[in-house]
Structure 1
């Protein structure tokens, strides 16, 4: 195996360990917003799909990169949407005044 493969594998394993440590420290009440916010990290997948598309030289790679970018973009948008909805659940409703009750 090449040195580049070892370096990439080491980065992958370290990112798994750091991700596990970060996620294990999050309280359960914030788990869902944290996970949906973490889905936004899939923007990196979009950039990766663009990088692969730049190197593509046949129709199969173009199709695969299109679907990779599409699914990553859907995941990014979904992550932000779910985060917005979850955080909206914590908003306090304005208190009604005495005059509104009459």
Structure 2
């Protein structure tokens, strides 16, 4: 990696951190739950990426290592997706419980 490419990549990374922070802090609290749910659905793409990566390694002929790596990648991606939806579900249940008890 050339120094120019490295500096450009680091600059882009730092700018994206600042932009993400500014955008998230401007979102009202009532919209955090739908945003989390959408982000969890999008993170399901990581499962597809894990499977594609495993296939690439498998087609290259590295079957034992690619099998182990694919299993780990798919398990971690599934934990991420299922955990995200579980947290979103708990948040929605807390909000629904407050509305029922208060009425």
Global fold match (TM > 0.5): yes
Aligned: 1:65 with 2:70: yes
> RMSD in angstroms over aligned alpha carbons?
3.5
How many residues in Structure 1 have an aligned counterpart in Structure 2? 90
Gapped regions of structure 2 (runs ≥ 5): 2-8
Rg comparison, structure with higher value: 1
Per the normalisation by structure 2, the TM-score is 0.60
Per the normalisation by structure 1, the TM-score is 0.61
Secondary structure, counterpart of 1:26 in structure 2? coil
User: Per-residue displacement from partner, 1:18-73 (whole Å, max 9, x unpaired)?
Assistant: 64454233235654x36743244321110111111211232112211211111111
Secondary structure, counterpart of 2:27 in structure 1? coil
The structure richer in helix per residue is 2
